[in-house]
Amino acid sequence: MNPNDVIDAYVIDVMRRLPAGERNEIGLELRGLLAEMLAERAGNEGRAADDAMVLALLREFGTPAEVAARYRPPGPVIIPPEQARGFTLLAVIGLVLQWALSLPHVFDGRLSPAGWWLGPGLGAFWWPGFMIMFTLLAAWLRHRGWFKPRWRPRSVDPERVNRGALAFGLVWFAIGATVVISLPWLTPHLPGALPQVLALDPDFLRMRAWPVLPMWAASFAILAVVLLQGRWSPLMRKLEIVSSAAFIALLAWWIAAGRMFLATPTDQGARGVLALIVVFMVVDLAIRVHRRRTRIQLPALTR
């Protein structure tokens, strides 16, 4: 086959993938470009062009689909590059969380592995599909010019706190902690079946529940110091991160180490809620650490 015929067949294959109104113009341009490249290669090698030479040239140039993509205008961006990592992380977390909540049914014999995979296992993929559909809708709305984001300056001093809001939060922090701490003594006095539903496991109270008391006290102390100072200092930020990591470890221990409530439905529901809380805390901690890394670090003053 004549080398020019090979180039023509290649160019036609590219043109089939282009809009009809642009095919001829792009085809002529591409044909001329490839002919020049082939002639230059033949001159460099000091021999006439043959089928092997033209095929090597075309394979290096790219497949017809890849070449056609170079000439097509880019389509609408579905997931912006800066959001791809967060999208992937959220999709994987949602998938793994659903598997973590359903896999115990396999280990306790209520579901066979095949039954789990054909049911909750594959069913968990609704979450990535749900995210993709809403991402497509958001991309279409952006393409139409709706809901275009506008930049607004953030707080000049992000470490300054709203003392009124923080004081309000501390009050509810204290009330909530008091109610939870009093739960073992309040539960027997509740009406109806609630004492049986909310009864805590004695081993949990004796072995695993107590660390939350000093950890709550430490968190309250950190927030109280921030309230008095009116801003977050570098030391308080580090202590807050350590406190959050400790709470994540404690909740994970509670979930994995055994029963928390005597009633099985209550215990399973509590485990699911705590697993969801752990996921949100991990994401929040990762965001806070990332924000600390993206702040401008001023150079140290030289003496």
pLDDT tens string 162-210: 888 889 988 988 898 888 888 888 888 888 888 888 888 999 988 989 9
22 is a domain residue: yes
Residue 257 pLDDT more than 80?
Answer: yes
Which residue would you say has higher pLDDT here, 107 or 265? 265
Sign of CA dihedral 227, 232, 233, 235: positive
Amino acid at 93: I
150 is a domain residue: no
pLDDT of 279: 87
In degrees, rounded to 5, the angle at the alpha carbon of residue 251 between the alpha carbons of residues 246 and 256 is 125
Residue 297 pLDDT more than 70?
Answer: no
78 is a domain residue: no
298 is a domain residue: no
Pair (211, 129) in one structural domain: no
Confidence label for 298 from pLDDT (cuts 50, 70 and 90):
very low
Mean pLDDT across the chain:
84
Residue 302 pLDDT more than 50?
Answer: no
Pair (168, 271) in one structural domain: yes
Please give the structure tokens belonging to residue 301: 């003053």
Pair (132, 254) in one structural domain: no
Percent of the chain scoring above 90 in pLDDT: 14
Domain count, the chain: 3
* Measured distance CA(196)–CA(58) in Å, rounded: 76
Pair (131, 55) in one structural domain: no
Amino acid at 75: G
Which residue would you say has higher pLDDT here, 158 or 265? 265
202 is a domain residue: yes
What are the pLDDT digits (tens) for 198-252? 888 999 988 989 999 999 999 999 999 999 998 888 899 899 999 999 999 999 9
Pair (173, 250) in one structural domain: yes
Residue 210 structural domain: 163-293
Count of beta carbons in the 10 Å neighbourhood of residue 258: 13
Boundary-marking domain end, from 71, 100, 120: 71
Least confident residue range of 67-76, 80-89, 212-221, 280-289: 67-76
pLDDT of 86: 83
Pair (178, 221) in one structural domain: yes
What are the pLDDT digits (tens) for 263-272? 988 888 888 8
Pair (66, 88) in one structural domain: no
Pair (27, 139) in one structural domain: no
151 is a domain residue: no
